[in-house]
Structure 1
């Protein structure tokens, strides 16, 4: 099941670029918000929203963070909640926040995604996604939109598919 936590009231779909994706999650998954209806996107909403996101997860995975980035707020929440933190290690001078966490022993490095996933549950290796199976036939874009309008946009945004020469393929 797909889930998202909004940084606005539930009646506002932000950012506008993802309206269709959010509407799809509303129909088939769960959208949460701690903000009242009508609450617009304000910069201080997002650290509050991120606290809820951290609370809902079993662990925090940080792919990149500068020392003065908003991501460091999420890291503070995870530390207070005693949630495990995992980071992608970076070269010196890059992602100083994640490197700092590693140097202080506050996070564990992620080197092997399969080993990481195994920590949190069984991995289903068979594809049961009808849309991705359909994409293996390299359908025409307009045919795919006719059959799976919601999924085409969602999977394209997630990078699961790509469009080449008017046909859809798995990315």
Structure 2
């Protein structure tokens, strides 16, 4: 089902031209959550991959919704780190398309459990300018913008310009000289703050709201310390996502609720 949002999204008022139409699939309640935007390179190095996933997972664990653009690389890692029920994807194409195709299963999980949004008509194919428009919505939705890796002349750096225009605070991962020259430039110019410690950074947000519903059949089942394989048979991907989100942990083949 492809539906249009019928109410005003306050965060989009910071965009120069409020979107004429916003199509969506999924859970609109995520718009009411505290949100953080995470973007970056389509070809992140291993350090960036690990830190992006850890950062998104820890923010999600305290109840923050992660916003990104569904692209390869950092975007996809951020969505996965958050878990499909705690993330918003903004598409550069029609809401009925899955772009890029390599992320089809990820995008389907988000529209089924999280929230997928687009301001483009159905069947609209992604173009160079639609990526820029998409990026402005991604930046607008987040309370802050985190760029985990970016080259100087990348789309991520164009998104940084949007964030500066909107008065958003920008955070980046510290990188070695020669790596991620775009984010290193932001640091040297005083336009971004570094995230030196993920726990300390996440602690700035406090406990937004617990993702654990004590009456959730999944949580009740996990509280019985079931065997991991048994839980996977019963709940499928939910087990993997809960583990990434820090809701459960696996010890000696059995599940414990954290």
Q: Which TM-score tier does this pair reach, normalised by the shorter chain? A: 0.7 to 0.9
Q: Please state if 1:75 is matched with 2:75.
A: no
Give 1:128's match in structure 2, choosing from 205, 212, 223: 212
Q: TM-score, normalised by structure 2?
A: 0.52
1:105 & 1:75 partners in 2: Cα distance?
13
- Alignment RMSD, CA only? 3.3
Q: Please state if 1:147 is matched with 2:234.
A: yes
Alignment gaps of 5+ in structure 2? 1-29, 31-85, 247-252
Q: Shift of the alpha carbon at 1:126?
A: 7.6
Q: Shift of the alpha carbon at 1:26?
A: 2.1
1:51 maps to which residue?
A: 136
1:44 partner SS: helix
2:161 & 2:99 partners in 1: Cα distance?
25
Alignment gaps of 5+ in structure 1? 162-166
Measured against aligned partners, the alpha-carbon deviations of 1:128-148 in whole angstroms (never above 9, x if no partner) come to 3847x85x85633xx555423
1:32 partner SS: strand
CA separation of 1:168 and 1:147: change in aligned 2, threshold 3 A: same
Q: Shift of the alpha carbon at 1:49?
A: 0.6
2:111 maps to which residue?
A: 26
Q: TM-score, normalised by structure 1?
A: 0.74
Q: Please state if 1:100 is matched with 2:189.
A: no
Q: Shift of the alpha carbon at 1:51?
A: 0.8
Q: Is the 8 A contact 1:21 1:150 kept in 2?
A: no
1:164 maps to which residue?
A: none
1:111 & 1:57 partners in 2: Cα distance?
21
The aligned length equals: 159
Q: Shift of the alpha carbon at 1:47?
A: 1.8
1:52 partner SS: helix
2:128 partner SS: coil
1:41 maps to which residue?
A: 126
Q: Is the 8 A contact 1:24 1:150 kept in 2?
A: no
Q: Shift of the alpha carbon at 1:95?
A: 1.0
Q: Shift of the alpha carbon at 1:160?
A: 6.7
